[in-house]
Amino acid sequence: MRLPRNPMAAMVVLVAVSASPLRAADSSAKVQLNVDKAGPRAVEAQTEQVILRDYRAAWTSLAQALEFNTLDPLEGPFVGTAKKWLTDSVTSQRSTGLSSRYSDQNHKLEAVFYAPEGDVIELHDTAEYQLQVSDGGKSIQEQHMIVHYVVLMTPAADRWVIRQLQAVPQF
Pairing between β-strand 121-135 and β-strand 98-114 as defined by DSSP bridges: antiparallel
Q: How far is the CB of 2 from another protein (least distance, A)?
A: 24
Q: Using CB under 8 A, list all residues that contact another protein.
A: 40, 81, 84-86, 88-89, 92-93, 96-98, 100, 112-113, 115-117, 119-120, 122, 124, 131, 133, 135, 140-141, 143, 145, 147, 150, 152, 164-171
What is the strand order of the sheet 160-168 is part of? Answer: 29-34, 98-114, 121-135, 138-155, 160-168
Q: How far is the CB of 18 from another protein (least distance, A)?
A: 31
Between 17 and 168, CB nearer to another protein: 168
Helix or strand (DSSP H, E) at 65: helix 45-68
Q: How far is the CB of 55 from another protein (least distance, A)?
A: 17
